[in-house]
Each structure stands twice: as C-alpha cells, then as structure tokens.
Amino acid sequence: MPNLVGDVSSAARILPDLKGEKLFIRNGKGAYLWDDQGRQYIDTALGFGAVLLGHSNDAVNAAVVQALSDSAAPSWAHVREHGAATALARHTGELSKVIFTNSGSEAVHLACRAARAYTGRGRIAKMAAGFDGWFDDISYGNVTSKEASFSDGKRPSTERTTLLRFNDFDDVERLFAEDNNIAAVILEPMLANAGCIMALPGYLKHVQDVAHRHGALVISDEVLMGFRLYPGLAALQEGLDPDIASVGKAIGNGVPVSAVVAKPHILAGFEEGRVIRGGTFSGNPMACAAVTTTLAQLDSVDYPQLIARGDALRGAIESIFKSHGITVSTSGYGNVFGIWLGAVVPSTYEQAAQIANPSFTKALHLALREAGVLIMPSPYGRLYISFDHTDHVIEEIKTAFEHAAVELSAAYSG
C-alpha cells in the first residue's frame, strides 16, 4: 500500500491515468518536463503559475545553490533577506513594506490577519468561487462548493468569512449595507481559479471604492497574477490602490516563496510586535536568493512579446477546433488563459458553472498528453506560457492541439 495519500501532497496534482499509467515527473528544463519513463512534454501548468522564466533557470538555480551551501536555515537575520525585500518593494509602489512567507496560502492568511489587526474588524469578504488559499477561513466558497453560488438575501457567511459575487456591481453595495464588520475585501484581477473569468470594466475599482468608503481595506491577491503581465502588481496596472497584496509563485520562478506587501502604516503592528508573525522558513536564504535573481531577470524580459505570443496561441486553438467542427472559446490573458467548450465566454461564476464540461476537459487533457503537451484536466483550469515558450514551442503546442481536435471531433463536433 502506498504511504503517500492519493499519490500526491496537493490535490491539484491529481491527473487521470493515460492507458492505465500514472504520470510522475522526473525533471524539467525550459518549457519541457520529462516523466519517469523519459517521455518529454511541453508544460502549460508551469507550477500552477510559479514558473515564468522557464523550468530550472540557470541563474536562479545558481543563486539558490549558493544560498543552500552557505546555510539553509541560519535561524537569525541573514544577508540576503533585506536585499530580496528591497528588490520586491521596487516593484510594488506604495506597498513598500514586506514580510516573506512560504506559500500563497500563508501570504493571504497573513494579509487577512494584518487587515483584522489594523481595522479591529473580524470578517474578510472574498469572491465566491475564488481561490485565495487552502486555510479553513479563506477556502470557504471555493469553486464547485455549494456556497459559491447564492441568491440575493442568502449570502453565505461564517464568523470570519463572507462571500461576494464576482462582477456583480450591486452585490458589493448590499454587502456593506448588511455587514459593518468587514475588515477587508480580497480582489483578484480576474477570477483565475474559476476558469479565468475577466473583471468587467470598472468592477474592481467599484469594489475598492465601496470598501474604502466603509472603512474596509483592499487586499489584492496577486499570488497568481502578480508579475505575470509586467514586472509588478496587476492591481497597480489596473489603476487600483490596494492597501495590502499577497504575492508569490512567479517572484521565485518555482522556488517556494511568497510575501505580504503593504503600505507601511498597515503593517506597523507587526513591526512594533503587537501582531504575531512567525515561520521557521519564512524569508529563508534560498527563497530570498530566488526572489532577487528572478526579479532581476523579469526587469529585462519582453512581456508584450510573451503576451502577444499567447494571444496568437489562443486564436490558433479556437481556429484549429473550428476546422474540426468544434466550437471553443478562451478567456484570460495571453500568458494565462482558460478554454471553454462553446462560443460563450462566462462573465460570472454562475455562467461558468453552467458551461463547464468536465468530460471535455478530461478528454482534451488525455489527447494532448498523448501528443506531448500537459494541461490541467479541470474545466476551471488554465494554460500558462513562460518566457521559454518560444515560437518553436508554440508551434509544437499547435500541432498537439491539431491532434487533440481530431481525437475529439467525433464526440464534440456539431
């Protein structure tokens, strides 16, 4: 009997068997992964958004190895932590104070603690169907849960968490009319884990303005989208003024690291010792080395080219399926997007739940995997591309989608 629960330590890694075989990855480089049988795949999960420079980036690896050889856990303040914080803060505008953590879930959890401590209020509002971490409080109302879809007057809430309907302008007004105990609202630039549902024009600014008017803070959850569109926070690119942001994933190119960044007065309680924080591995030397080296490279890469390359791939995917009698649509950005069966791109979670087709997504995953491309098997999954997904790699992906469209045409055309 295997000792590892369900073969994995994170449920997001669970994949269906292909011809009776499970997938176990051995190593990766650039845009590619190799399994334990030596088979090569183009990766479009990329550490669920963490790998932006490509797998096993030489400069990041060298910096991490040096940090590891110096001491993995020196216990006390070390020489790399201030430099990493300074490098990160250069990209986060007025959110200039930094606390490092280890995972996105930890960063969001600490951001919520900061908001509660600063405001003296107890409840956090999150977007229904949004994923902001796996801790009990903030996992409430995740995608596919019964709480994620609700009608007016029946808002799901707990003592510490309440839900908002994404892209519903009126619902945020109702929230604050109903509840004066909201410490903060968590925003994402798009509802990424519900299939890349894009925010309607003006929606995010509306939520921010209503929250601030009622004395609540705004937490921008940038764990997934931070540094993916440009070297900085997606919220700032959208013209928003968040009080706190959680960052992670891309800032370390796959090395486990995350952080809370905030305006100085918001984190003063931590600095003065009035609010608890901790973590043996928070801000460890390897994580700090990865942050400093990753951000230095992200400052010089061509983001517009990457996004244009991804947008071209999105168009090609839609055209390839159309040529085989299957209508699909895509939503998201060039370098992170979802695929929907049908012509309609959802703008709400309720629409997404109606459109989501698990059997199609599983069949697409298996067909692409057989053709050498790995995608998430969930109807709410995403495809990422990295800076190592060159034009040649994109052409390889198109060829794999051509194979998949042929495989799926009998079942899904017409």
The amino acid at residue 351 is Q
Residue that is written with structure tokens 């939520």 in the block: 207
pLDDT of residue 13: 80
Just give the CATH number of 5-53+301-412: 3.90.1150.10
Nearest to 144 by CA among 358, 329, 412: 358
The reported pTM is 0.95
pLDDT in tens, the chain (414 residues): 688 888 888 877 888 888 888 999 999 999 999 999 999 999 999 999 999 999 999 999 999 999 999 999 998 899 999 999 999 999 999 999 999 999 999 999 999 999 999 999 999 999 999 999 999 888 999 999 999 999 998 999 999 999 999 999 999 999 999 999 999 999 998 999 999 999 999 999 999 999 999 999 999 999 999 999 999 999 999 999 999 999 999 999 999 999 999 999 999 999 999 998 989 999 999 999 999 999 999 999 999 999 999 999 999 999 999 999 999 999 999 999 999 999 999 999 999 999 999 999 999 999 999 999 999 999 999 999 999 999 999 999 999 999 999 999 999 986
Q: Which helix (H) or strand (E) holds 35?
A: strand 32-35
- Nearest CA to 138 out of 112, 164, 176 is that of 112
The pLDDT, as a whole number, for residue 64 is: 98
Exposed, middle or buried by CB within 10 Å (0-12, 13-18, 19+), for 3?
exposed
In this prediction, residue 1 carries a pLDDT of 66
Taking domain 58-298, whether its CATH number is 3.90.79.10 is answered by: no
CB pairs under 8 A, 24+ apart, for 71-74? 71/285, 72/284, 72/285, 72/286, 73/280, 73/281, 73/284, 74/285
Using the CB atoms, write b or e for 154-182: b if 16+ within 10 Å.
Answer: ebbbeebbbbbbbbbeebbeebbeebeeb
Provide DSSP, 117-138: HHH---EEEEETB----SSHHH
| CB proximity list for 31: less than 8 A, separation 6 or greater | 42, 43, 54, 55, 385, 386, 388, 389, 390, 393
pLDDT of residue 278: 87
Instruction: Give residue limits of the domains in the chain.
Output: 5-53+301-412, 58-298
158 in helix, strand or coil? Answer: coil
Rounded (5°) CA angle 240-241-245 = 100
Query: Residue 98: enclosing H or E segment and its boundaries?
Result: strand 97-101
Query: Residue length, the chain?
Result: 414
